[in-house]
Each structure stands twice: as structure tokens, then as C-alpha cells.
Structure 1
């Protein structure tokens, strides 16, 4: 960050010569100096290049308006104005409040002016960097000799080995110098929440509108367990979203609690819907408690917000209606909701605290903000016993946290502060909406078929779009008004194959498109039967968006030409050259589509997720049985009326289908039918195997599951 932009009123000698001298002084101080051609060029340069650390312009030509434009982009950016024709008395109070320093054109003053500019830029950089990251950087710059962990000693050990040297050179020196021990008192402690670590969490809490925030260095899977371990003591009952992440199932396995499930909806595409409002009422919960052995009225509830496919709740309704002390929003996929007004009232930290209630929001900072993998945060609104909460925190947190992850979590928060953060988020939303509109335009203008977008017909307004019960586009039945909203940056594309709630005569399974895109360097976030999910995070730029559009049009062109699998998707051909020899892409697509028709996929999906397996014992009790060896493996088709030992969850979407301690009965047999369909597609078509946690593929091609032994 060492670029200074000078917008000068050229052609006037008494102004040009001082600027030339200043240019020389700034270059001597280590700055790169660039010259935009006009004020519009300067604004665009600042907008497109975050490494610009200062702007200099002629106040006589570009006064207040330019300052306001710069301020709207970055209110902290140092701005320097040269003025001769305007006196200090001509400068208004409003102008003085802006972040601008004034100098006069004068020969021989360049070194003094450059010194003041450098001081302002140093202050600017200091204000940008959050507390822990700043302390870590300072520690690295000090270059202390340590005789403690980690053993690579700032990277020195790696450089003593040929293999280590290659590893060291790939990452660079600072990656190793910043990997430090918990023995450094000047950096404080993540476990004790002291020193710069404490300042970092206070900084994050303020940024995310929380009363307290905690940095978690091993993902939201761990953040969820920390929150649950504190909020649901042994013997209690937990209200939990049936479409929860598997980390919450692991919480149930670790803790002796009884689960009662919120029952979400699902449409024919397999897109996860929301939990109906009725599920949050005390009467419905009381009925479920009465029907569940050993259950009591719950004090802790977990809701996935947003869903994997980008549906957000009216969280204010849930907060006001749900009669539990602790309400936990698993918001792993939406760490950005505090930074644009379209998300107001749709996230856990929206609004004010409520007496007698505690709201949690667990967020994967690394998923859709700029942070290292495993960066996560716990946000809390309301009063908690912080000492006891920290015991739960320490149960799941390493005593040797990775400080680079801590710094990246804090820096992600710093990036979202102020006008620069608001612009980052707005740009992300705008880019996603432009992409959506471009796909719709191509769909209308393209001959034959093209991809569609799962969204309302009219998206002219920038908002989270309401799922109106009167509309049909979303495919959900009997939904509540003003309850669920579609996040614009979660873009779901639809492939041909669905006709309302039924399968069409012909179709293009989305998994086929995903394999084609992957071969061209485009990775899909989630692939359903006939839908593909793309995340337009702040890291998606115009080039990536255009690359995706181009790849989609290339798929259509190749598919319409009915190219061979060998030429169209070589990596798929390599999975089984004998099987795919001379096979054409349209035949492959239709073959998979016909199998889905044979299994009556939409009907099967509705049934599979409508009737839950029967809870026989708690997940914790089932896990204890497994630890004692009271399990056996049976064929997949033999699991009916047997108590499952492990969770079974297909990817996608990666939410549990059968939980430990549950039994598939004749009533819930569609669950088994759905699993068998996924297995058969993978058996029939090499390369299309579904990753199913809890199913074990045997050498003879069959699948087994682990069940509890019968007495």
C-alpha cells in the first residue's frame, strides 16, 4: 500500500514545479506516484485499487464535491489539497470536517510536505489495522529469538531440509514468522481472552453488532459445539433444525440430551426450505415434547439461517415467538449480513436484545468473507455467565491456536467496517443481480433451451426477495407470508428436466453440468438433481462471473452438438473408458434422467423428507453403544426396523437423513428408497457416485450400514 495519486491543475508553471519537486520527494520516501487524468479517473482509480494510500489534488479546481466522493468510498483515506487562489477564510466548516489537509504551492517545501503526507499515511495504516493483527505484525518485525514452540522457529527449521525449503519458499517468510507460540505475553491469550486477543474480540463484537464475540480457530463446526455445550446441559431437551449441519448432530452424540426436531419444507428440486412459523409455537412444541420419551420443555433451540440454498428467516418473528432462553442461529453461510440494509431483521444480531433471552449467531468467517479456512466467530446478544461459557469454549479449542487464523478473522471484520465494507458488500450484491439478469436474458434470447434462475420474475429491486405464498417460482407449498427471503448473492441455476413438481420427458442432470464446469476451472458450491448453487462472495469479480457465463454457453453448444463424452468431458471418460466409449453426451444425460424418472424422484424426495425415521434412543445413547462395540454391519436394504448407529447424510446437501438412534420403519421407507436410488445411479454411471457419510461401499459393489445389535 504505497501508491499516491496526484490530480494536478497542469499548465500553470508556479503549480507544476512544486508538484515535480513533491513527486521526487515522495519517490525518495518509497511511494509510487500516479497521475489520473481528471476527477472521474481519480475516483475510479481509488475504487479499483485499494493500495492507494493518499490522494493529492488542486483545491482551486476540485473543491468540496471531490472530497465527498472520496469520502463515500473510503472515509479514512488521507486527502491532501493544494490551494493558492482560495484563502483559509474561504474554506467552509463542512470542508474542514472532511478528512483533508491543506498545503500551498511553494518551491523548496517538498520534503516538509512529503514528511507530513507520510505521517498522515502512517496514521491511516495504523487506523486500518485491527488490534491483534497490528500486535502480531509488530512482533514479527521485532524478530525475537525464541526457545519455545513451534519447533520450526519462524521457518528456520524448514530451511535446513531440501523438502522443507521447497515448502518454505512456497509460503514465504512471514507465514512462518507469524506462526508463534502462546508463550508470547505481548500478544495475550485466546483462551483467557486477554491482551490483543481480547481487544480483537471486542473489535469484532462492535463490528457485528454483538454484545460479545469469540474467535474460533477450527470452524463453525466447533463454534456450534461450544454454544450447544454451554446452553444444553445433560438431561435437557434440544429443539433442533432437522436440516442442521452435521456438527450439531455430533453435539447430540457428545451430550446426553434429547432432540426434538423442527420440520422444514423442501421443494421438488430438492432445495431446502424453511421451518413453518407454526413449528415455533409453544403449543406445537409442547405436543412434540409429550410424544417424545424423556423429553422436557426445551430451553435451547437451533435454527439454520440461512439455509444452504440462501433462504433467510424473519428472525424477529422467531425471537419473539420461540419460548426458549437460548436461540442459536447457525449462520455459517452468511457472515456478511450486518453490512447491508437488505439483511436487516433477517439475521441473529439484528435488532436489540430481549430481556430473559440470549441470541447466538455462529458464522464461518472463511466461507464468504476474506479469512483463512477454519476462521469462525460466535456472536452473542444478551447476558451469559462468561466464566462458564469460557469453560465450554476451552473444551473445544486448541491450547495452540493458529495466530494467522485469528488475525485473518479480525482482518475480515476490519475489511467490512465503514464505507469500504459497505461498498464491498453492495458490489457483491450488484454483481450477483447483474449475473442473474444476464442468465435470464440469454434464456429468453437463446434458441432451444438454456439455464434458468431460481428467483422471482421481477428482480428490479435490490432486496432479499420474499417467498410469497401466492407465487409458484419457489415451488414450496403452504408456506407462511413474510417469513422466508432469498439472498441475492446465493445464485441457484436450474437445468432442464423439471416440469413443475414432475420430471419432464427429457432432462439434463445438474451433475453432468458440474463435471463439465469443473473441467474448465469453475467449481460449483452445491449440485442438486437439476440445480446448481453458486456463491457470489466479495471475492467474485467480473472476470470470474464472465468465465462462468462463458462456460455455461459452451456447455449448451457442446450438448446441442451431441459431442462424445470422451471429447466433451475427458475426465469423466477416464473414470471408465470402456463404459463411455462412443457414448454421446445426450445419451448419458437421458440415461441418468430416465433412472430418476423410474424412481419418481420428486415424489420420492417429498416423501423421504416428510416422514422422519423413528427415534428409538438418543444419539448420545447410540454413540455409547457403538463405543462399547454393540454394533454390526448389515446390507443397506436390511436396515428397515433396525436402530441406526451412525448418522447417514448424502452430499449434497450434507444434512443428516438418518440420525444415530433412529429406525427406518415401513412408514419412513422412502428414506431408504432415496438412498438406494443414489447408490444405483453411482453403480450404473461411473463417476456419478454420491458421497454418503454412514454408508460403506463393499468390494462386491454392495453398501452396508452400521446398526445396533439386537438383544
Structure 2
């Protein structure tokens, strides 16, 4: 961060020569100097180059208006205005709040001015660097010798081995020096929440609008368990979104709670919808409790917000309607909702505290912000017992946290503060909106077929689009007004084969083909459904990546229209079974899979599979206790009816559990099994298209085996 932008003064030698001297003085201090052509060029440079640490300009030429424009981009950036003895200093109160310094044009003053610029630059870096990260940087620079863990000793151990040196050179010296022990007292403690760690959590809480925040170094899977272990005592009843992440199923296997499920909608595309408003009412919950053995009034509720496909709730409605002491919003996929007005009222931490309730929000900082993998946060609003909560926190948190992960979570928060943060999220929304419009344009201009996009017909402005009950585009029957909203940065591309009413067409292109084509060209899809592909336009997506995706889609259409051979269009797929794909063309493959989907009527199967839940014979906790005692057998998946599943069964797509541990598929819920068998049949017929079904074991001969409860006489 050593770039200074200088706007050249115009038309006077007495101004040009001091600037030339200052250029030389700043260069000697290690600064890189750039000269924008004009004001617009300067603003674009500041907007697109985060390493610029100051701007120098002539006050008579630019003054207040330029300062305001730069301040809207980065209110922390130091500005240096050069004046002469006749300059008018009409500085108002607003400008005095800016980081604005004045220097006079004078010869032989450059060294002193450069030293001041160095000082103010250091202050700027100190201002924008959050506390734990600052302390970690300082510790690394001090280069202390330690006689504690980790054993690589700031990377020194790696340098004693040939393969170790490869590792050292790849990751870099500072990454390894920052991997320090919890014994480093000046960094405080993540477990006791002291020192710079405490400052970091307070800093994050202020940034994200919570009353208390915690950094979690092993993902939101762990954050979810921490909240659940504290909020739901053994024997209590908990409302759980059936859309839940598998970490919550694991929570239920760890602690003896009684789950009562809130059932979300699905559409024919397999896109995960939200929980209808009626499910949150007292009457609906009373009905569920009456139908669940050992259930009592719930003490806690867990809601997935947003869904995997980018649907956000009106969280104010849920907070005020759900009659439970605490509500946990699993917001793993939306750690940015506090930083753009289109998300107001759609996040866990939005609004004021709710009297008598505690609101928790867990977020995967690493998923869509700039942080290392496993960096996660817990935000809390409301009264809770900090000491007891920290016991639950320490149950799941390692005593040897990776400080790089902690610092990256804090840095992600720092990046979102102020105008630079709002601009980051706004740019992400704008890039997604531009991409959506480009897909629409290409669809309108292209002869024959082209990809569609899951969104309302008109998307002129950046907003979260409501799933209005009187519109058909979203495909959700009986949608509630002012309840669910589509996040613009979650972009779902639709392939031909199914119309918006969920009816299968005569011909189609299954999305898995497109995903494989893109993957072979370096573009990885986040999630693939039968006829849809999900792409995340996070803050790290730039125009280069966006255009690569656009080119990949257009290249697929061109190749598909030419009906190329599979071995030429999808060489990696061909390599999986050359004999099977030797003479096959892409049309044959696409229509073969499509007809299999039509034969099984996949849209109907998906809807029915999630409409009737399997019968809960025992809680997930009770089932896991049987499993660890060895009271389990295996059976083929098509023999699962009437047997109690020992594991959670979770197919991708759609990526949420269809069977929980301790549940039994009965004739009434047979659609669940038919859905799973249909997914298996595609892989049996077409090599390379095997379905990933968690909770099953795929044998070499293509059988899917499931763990089940062993009958008592066989135990």
C-alpha cells in the first residue's frame, strides 16, 4: 500500500517544480507515484486500486467537490491539497471531518512534506487495520523466538526438509510466521475473549450491528452447534427448518432434543423455497407438538436464511410471530446483508432487539466475503448468559486456533466498514444485475434456444425481488405476500427442458451436462439441479470471471447446436467410460437423460418427496446412541421402506436432508424413496452422472447401501 496519486497542477512553473521535487522525495521513501490525466481518471483509479494510500491535488483547481467525491469512495483516504499565498481556504465543517491536509507550494520543502505524507500514510494504515490483525502483524514483524507450539517454529522446520521447502515457498514466510501459539500473551485469548481477541469481537459486533459477536475458526457447521448446545437443553423441544444444513442434524445427534420440523416449499425446478407464514403461527406449532411424541412447547427455533438458492425472509415477521424464547438464523450464505439497503429487514441482526427474545445469527464469513476457509461468526442480540454460552463455545472450539483464520474474519469485517464496504457490496449487486441483463439480451437476440434465468421479467433496479403470490416466474404455489425475496447476487441459470409452470418439455438439456462442460473450461458451478445452475456473484467476482462464465455458456450452445461427439465436447466425461461414449453425440446424451427424467416425472417426485415427511421412530440422538453401540445393519436403498434409517440421507441436488436419523420411510412417504431411486438410476444408466447421496455407500457394482437400525432379535 504505497501508491500516491498526484494531479499535476496546470500552467505555473512555481507549482510544477515543487511537485517534481516531492515526486523524488516520495520515491526515496518507497512510494510509487502515478499521475491521473484528470479528475475522472483519479476517481476511477481510487475506485479500482485499493493500494492507493493518498491523493495530492491543487486546491485552486479542485477543492471541495473533488474531496467530497473521493470521500464517498473512501472516507479514510488521506487527501493532500497544495495551496499558495493567494488561495482561498473556504473550508466548511464537513471538510474539516475529512482526512485533509494542506501544504504550500515552496521549493526545497519536499523532504519535510514527504515525511509528513509517510506519517499520515502510517496513520491511515493504522486506522483501517482492525485490532487483532494489527497485533498479529506487529508480533510477526518483531520476530520473537518461541519455545512453544506450533512445531514448525514460524516455518523454520520446513526449511530443514526438501519437501518442506516446497511447502514454505508455496505458502510464504509471513503466512507461517503468523501461525502462532495460544501462548502468545500479547495477542490475548480466543477462548477467554481477552486482549486483541476481545477487541476484534467488539469491532465485529459494531460492524455487523449485533450486541455481541464471536469468531469461530472451524466454520458455521461448528457455529450452529455452539448456538444449539447453549439454547436447547437436553429433553427440550426445538423448531427446526427441514431445509437445515446437515450440521444441525449432527447437533440433534449430539444432544437429546426433540425436533419439530418447519416444512419449507419447493418448486418444480427443485429450488429450495421458504417456510410458509402459517408454519410460524402458534396454531400450527400446537398441531405439530400434538403429533410428535414427547414434544413440549419449543424453547428455540432454527431458520435457514437465506436458502441455498438465495431466498431471504422478511425476518421481522418471524421475530415477532414465533412465540419462542430464542431464534437462530442460519445465515451462512449471506454475511453481507448489513451493508446494503436492499437487505433491510431481511437479516437476523436487522432492527432493534425483541423484548423477551434472543436472536442469534451465524454467518460463514469465508463463503461470500474475503476470509480464509472456516472463518465464521456468531452474532447475538438480546440477553443471554455469557459464561454459560462460552462453555458451549469452548466445547467446540480448538485450544489451538489458527490466528490467520481469526485475522481474516476480522479483516473481512474491516473491509465492510464505511463507504468502501458499502461500495464493495454495491458493486457485487451491480455486477450480478449486469450479468442477468446480458443473459436476457442474449436470449432475446439468439436464434433458437438459449439459457434463461430465474427472476422476474423486469429487473431494472437493484433490489431483492419479492415472490409475489400473483406472479408465476418463481414457481411456488401459494406464496405469501411480503415474505420471501430473491437475492440478486444468487444467479440461477435455467436450461431448456422445463417451463415456468414445472411441466417437462419434449426435449431438454439437463443442467449436469452444462456443469461438466463449464468445469472442463475452468468455471465451477456452485450447485446443479435438474435444469438449473446456481452461480454466486460474491465480492471476489470481477468482469473477467463474469465474462468467462458468459463465454462458457455461449460456447456450450455453439457446441451443442453442432451436435459434437461427447469425446470432443466433454473429454473428461468420455475418459470415464470410453466404450460407452465412443460414438455418442451430445444430443443423444442430453435427450437420453432428459427422457429418463420424463419417465420418472422428476418434478412430481421432488415435490412429493418433500411434501410428506418420513415417520420419526426415535430422535436423532437416540438413533446415534444405537449406532455407536453397533446396533446397525445395511440394506439396499430400494429396500428401505419399513426400516429405520441410522443416518441422515441427503442427496445433491437439492442438498438438504430427505431422511433424518431415526426416521422410517413408510408407504405414505414412499415418494421419498422413489425420488432417491430415480436419482440413482441416472448414474446406473450414464457413467459419470452418479448422484452424490450422503448417508449411503456406493459399491463397485453400483449399489447404494444404507445403514439401518438392527432389529432387536438380531442385536
Output the TM-score relative to the length of structure 2.
Answer: 0.99
- The Cα offsets for residues 445-487 of structure 1, whole Å up to 9 and x where unpaired, read as 1000000010001111211001000000000001110000000
Residue 100 in structure 1 maps to residue 100 in structure 2: yes
The gaps in structure 2 that reach 5 residues or longer are none
Query: What is aligned with 1:554?
Result: 555
- After superposition, residues 328-477 of structure 1 pair within 5 angstroms as 328-477=328-477
- The Cα offsets for residues 505-555 of structure 1, whole Å up to 9 and x where unpaired, read as 000000000000000100000000000000000000011111110110000
Q: Distance in 2 between matches of 1:113 and 1:255?
A: 64
Query: What is aligned with 1:480?
Result: 480
The gaps in structure 1 that reach 5 residues or longer are none
- The Cα offsets for residues 171-207 of structure 1, whole Å up to 9 and x where unpaired, read as 1100110000000110000000000000000000000
Q: Distance in 2 between matches of 1:695 and 1:382?
A: 41
Q: Distance in 1 between matches of 2:524 and 2:93?
A: 53
Secondary structure of residue in 1 paired with 2:25: helix
Secondary structure of residue in 1 paired with 2:156: coil
- The Cα offsets for residues 284-318 of structure 1, whole Å up to 9 and x where unpaired, read as 10111111110000010000000000000000000
Q: Distance in 1 between matches of 2:671 and 2:13?
A: 84
- The Cα offsets for residues 398-453 of structure 1, whole Å up to 9 and x where unpaired, read as 00000000000000000000000000000000000000000000001100000001
Q: Distance in 2 between matches of 1:519 and 1:703?
A: 28
Q: Distance in 2 between matches of 1:701 and 1:582?
A: 24
Contact 2:216–2:377 at 8 Å: present in 1 too? yes
Query: What is aligned with 2:174?
Result: 174
> Alpha carbons of 1:465 and 1:85: their partners in 2 closer, same or farther (altered >3 Å)?
farther
Q: Distance in 2 between matches of 1:28 and 1:6?
A: 16
Q: Distance in 2 between matches of 1:589 and 1:93?
A: 66
Secondary structure of residue in 1 paired with 2:362: strand
Query: What is aligned with 1:12?
Result: 12
> Alpha carbons of 1:89 and 1:305: their partners in 2 closer, same or farther (altered >3 Å)?
closer
Q: Distance in 2 between matches of 1:581 and 1:131?
A: 60
Q: Distance in 2 between matches of 1:537 and 1:203?
A: 23
- After superposition, residues 257-272 of structure 1 pair within 5 angstroms as 257-272=257-272
Q: Distance in 2 between matches of 1:560 and 1:446?
A: 12
Secondary structure of residue in 2 paired with 1:503: coil
Q: Distance in 1 between matches of 2:87 and 2:528?
A: 64
Q: Distance in 1 between matches of 2:6 and 2:362?
A: 44
Secondary structure of residue in 1 paired with 2:701: coil
Contact 1:60–1:85 at 8 Å: present in 2 too? no
- After superposition, residues 245-284 of structure 1 pair within 5 angstroms as 245-284=245-284
Q: Distance in 2 between matches of 1:327 and 1:4?
A: 48
Secondary structure of residue in 2 paired with 1:491: strand
- After superposition, residues 676-695 of structure 1 pair within 5 angstroms as 676-695=677-696
Secondary structure of residue in 1 paired with 2:574: helix
* Displacement after TM superposition at 1:570 (Å): 0.5
Q: Distance in 1 between matches of 2:651 and 2:181?
A: 39
- The Cα offsets for residues 130-186 of structure 1, whole Å up to 9 and x where unpaired, read as 000000000000000000000000000000000000000001100110000000110
Secondary structure of residue in 2 paired with 1:482: coil
- After superposition, residues 9-158 of structure 1 pair within 5 angstroms as 9-84=9-84, 86-87=86-87, 89-158=89-158
Q: Distance in 1 between matches of 2:290 and 2:602?
A: 34
- The Cα offsets for residues 569-623 of structure 1, whole Å up to 9 and x where unpaired, read as 1001001000000100011000000000110111111111101100010000000
* Displacement after TM superposition at 1:91 (Å): 3.5
* Displacement after TM superposition at 1:93 (Å): 3.8
Secondary structure of residue in 2 paired with 1:688: coil
Q: Distance in 2 between matches of 1:93 and 1:240?
A: 52
Q: Distance in 2 between matches of 1:95 and 1:255?
A: 57
Contact 2:231–2:326 at 8 Å: present in 1 too? yes
Contact 2:617–2:664 at 8 Å: present in 1 too? yes
- After superposition, residues 217-228 of structure 1 pair within 5 angstroms as 217-228=217-228
Contact 1:682–1:690 at 8 Å: present in 2 too? yes
- The Cα offsets for residues 484-511 of structure 1, whole Å up to 9 and x where unpaired, read as 0000000000000003222100000000
Contact 1:494–1:532 at 8 Å: present in 2 too? yes
Contact 2:60–2:87 at 8 Å: present in 1 too? no
Secondary structure of residue in 1 paired with 2:611: coil
Q: Distance in 1 between matches of 2:510 and 2:246?
A: 26
Contact 2:243–2:304 at 8 Å: present in 1 too? yes
Query: What is aligned with 2:208?
Result: 208
* Displacement after TM superposition at 1:654 (Å): 2.1
* Displacement after TM superposition at 1:86 (Å): 4.4
Query: What is aligned with 2:635?
Result: 634
Q: Distance in 1 between matches of 2:695 and 2:35?
A: 61
* Farther-moved stretch of structure 1 (499-508 vs 72-81): 499-508
- After superposition, residues 301-340 of structure 1 pair within 5 angstroms as 301-340=301-340
